[in-house]
Amino acid sequence: MTAVRATPAVTAPVEDYLKVIFELESVAGVAGTNEIAAELGFAPASVSGMVRRLAEQGLITHERYRGVRLTKAGRKAALRTIRRHRVIEAYLTRALGYPWDRVHDEAERLEHAASDELIDRMAAAIGEPTTDPHGAPIPTREGTLDDQPVHPLAEIGVGERVTIQRVGDRDPGQLRYLAELGITPGREVEVVSRAPFDGPIELRVGRATRAIGPALAKQILVSR
């Protein structure tokens, strides 16, 4: 099994930057240096220096006061890293029985070391999954991403029935809590009520009624 790629060779730190820029750009259309710094846990001054280097490499464009955007080459490299991360997560859960709250950190460590051939073989071994355990779409070998329109659960009105598509994957405790509530990708839920002043949101999950806070609801992406 072979895969033809034309992405530039990049270091692990560069891959981390491109991945974060891709995620921020997907949400807001542009990635600000302060937001990049917050996501990576670096000082803004350090991020500014790396942003200049990435622009020199042709991986991003950067306009002062307007933020950072990936170039075509930068997007391809970002999707390559994201594919590795999400395939590893899927393999760990499906082939090795890892719980979904433990795979993110493992994938973070392994995504830079795994070759494209290994990732392709891992994907083939588990039936070419299209999403990771948290519902995030897996880019194809060719670098395309089938990202369906989704909405934060926090924006869904009372009485609407929606399907959980994706949840945040970084907080293991949060993932365990969502699993206990039955709020997992593929599950259909109904918004029963919303308390005022950022109060809890009540959901019907199967035959049970569950309540979650607005902050958590923002990290649960659904489709109508």
* Same domain flag for 100 and 168: no
**Domain of 114: which CATH number?**
1.10.10.10
Q: 97 and 158 share a domain?
A: no
Give per-residue pLDDT as tens, 138-147: 999 999 998 7
Distances (CA, A) of 223 to 25, 38, 164, 213: 20, 28, 7, 19
DSSP state of 182: T
pLDDT at 4 over 80: no
Q: Which pLDDT tens digit goes with each residue over 99-137?
A: 999 999 999 999 999 999 999 999 999 999 999 999 999
> Please, are residues 119 and 87 in contact by the beta-carbon 8 Å criterion?
yes
Does 96 share its domain with 161? Answer: no
Residue at which a domain ends, from 87, 120, 145: 145
* Domain range enclosing 1: 1-145
pLDDT digits (tens, 9 = 90+) for 170-184: 999 999 999 999 999
Q: 120, 145, 170: which is the final residue of a domain?
A: 145
Tokens of 40: 């990576």
Check whether residue 80 and residue 105 sit in a common domain: yes
Domain total of the chain = 2
DSSP for residue 154? G
> What pLDDT score does 7 carry?
45
Q: Between residues 199 and 4, which one has the greater pLDDT?
A: 199
- Confidence at residue 185, expressed as pLDDT on a 0 to 100 scale: 97
A 10 A CB-CB count for 108 gives 15
Strands (E), the chain: 60-63, 67-70, 151-152, 161-167, 188-194, 201-205, 208-212, 220-223
- Residue 106 sits in the same domain as residue 183: no
- Do 116 and 201 lie in one domain? The reply is no
Overall average pLDDT of the 147-158 stretch: 93
The DSSP line for 50-113 is HHHHHHHTTSEEEETTTEEEE-HHHHHHHHHHHHHHHHHHHHHHHTT---TTSHHHHHHHHTTT
